[in-house]
Amino acid sequence: MKEAAAQRLIFLISLLFWTSGQVLPVRLTVIPSRSQFFEHKSVTLICEDENRSDGWTVRRNTSRGNRTECKDGWGTPAGSTCNINYLLPSDTGLYWCESMSGSSSSSSSIQLSVSGGSVILQSPVLPVMEGDDVTLSCRAKNPTHNLPAAFYKDGSFIGNETTGNKILNSVKKSDEGLYKCNVKGHGESPSSRISVKEKPPTTSPPSSSSSSSEKLTNISDSTVTPGPGSSSVSLPVLLPSASLCVLVFLFLLVQLVVYLYSKPKVMKEEEERMTSLPETSGCSRGNRRKANQEQEML
């Protein structure tokens, strides 16, 4: 009984630690998946969590306003989706997801840049893992084919590409920085930040919560006021996990109290049983001896 109770306690403690690490992150998906757009184009922003709920809204910080919601004159909301059908340079800013319930839970923010010029740099919106290959594409507004482009990192020239595509092979932390491109005769793109996430150790199992919460924050040269989700790592939605942890902790506490309360009682019953055994055995031997004497007399 003691071993079973101890095993149950160990299991509950393990469950408590496991659930404390489980989170339900929300992420912002951009369609098409890039951080720079030409003006007058459209973009769709989708807030997604692991429950596929519609309890999220898209907010933004731009030069025109801080913490404004999708329905505040700049987008068309549809559940947790926000459609911007006619982008303008003034739509450049930070975008993130926020709970409709008014809680502080939010996703990481993404910098979107809308160019009134003729050139943009198409770079990944999703996280870039250390060791991955990353393609940067320099695009002119009205080309009939891909044009040669010059690429720059943190203001320094890093090479010309005749196809307009620059491939960063096996990226490292040192590859982080602000990238832009230039097409001769067309102009220069805004800058976008490429962030590199360190690859987790191969000996450690990957965590679904961390993989779903990792986001690449693309930041342009434009200056905007950071939003509550300006961190490059997703803030978790802690309420469901916290509630589960509290329930598990309370159950664990009750089990511990029951175990400690029942232990003296079980020990006392065991002692009484052990004490009564010799007396019972002696009585039985006496009865057998008396019966044998009576049989011999007969």
Give the start-to-end residue ranges of the domains of the chain. 1-23+238-284, 24-237
pLDDT at 101: 74
Peptide bond connecting 206 to the previous residue in cis, omega within 30 degrees of 0: no
pLDDT of residue 3: 54
Long-range pairs of 141-145 with CB within 8 A, sequence gap ≥ 24: 141/38, 141/117, 141/186, 142/118, 143/186
pLDDT for the residue numbered 270: 64
d(CA 223, CA 239): 33
Q: What is the pLDDT along the chain (298 residues), one digit of tens a residue?
A: 545 555 555 554 544 444 444 444 788 999 999 999 999 999 999 998 877 667 889 999 998 878 899 988 899 999 899 999 999 999 999 999 988 876 656 777 899 999 999 999 999 887 789 999 999 999 999 887 889 999 999 999 999 999 999 999 999 999 999 999 999 999 999 999 999 988 887 765 555 444 444 433 343 444 444 444 433 333 334 444 455 555 666 677 667 766 666 655 656 666 666 666 554 444 455 555 655 665 566 4
Indicate the pTM of the whole model: 0.59
The residue ranges of DSSP E strands in the chain, in sequence order, are 26-31, 36-38, 43-49, 56-62, 65-69, 76-78, 81-84, 93-99, 110-115, 119-122, 128-129, 134-140, 149-153, 156-161, 165-168, 177-183, 187-188, 192-194, 196-197
Q: Which residues contact 123 (CB under 8 A, 6 or more apart)?
A: 34, 35, 36, 134, 136, 137, 179, 192, 194, 218
Is 58 within 8 Å of 95 (Cβ atoms)?
yes
What are the C-alpha distances in Å from 207 to residues 10, 172, 292? 22, 22, 77
Domain 24-237 in this protein, CATH class:
mainly beta
* pLDDT confidence of residue 84: 96
Strands 36-38 and 110-115: parallel
What is the number of residues in the chain?
A: 298
CA distance 33 to 29: 8
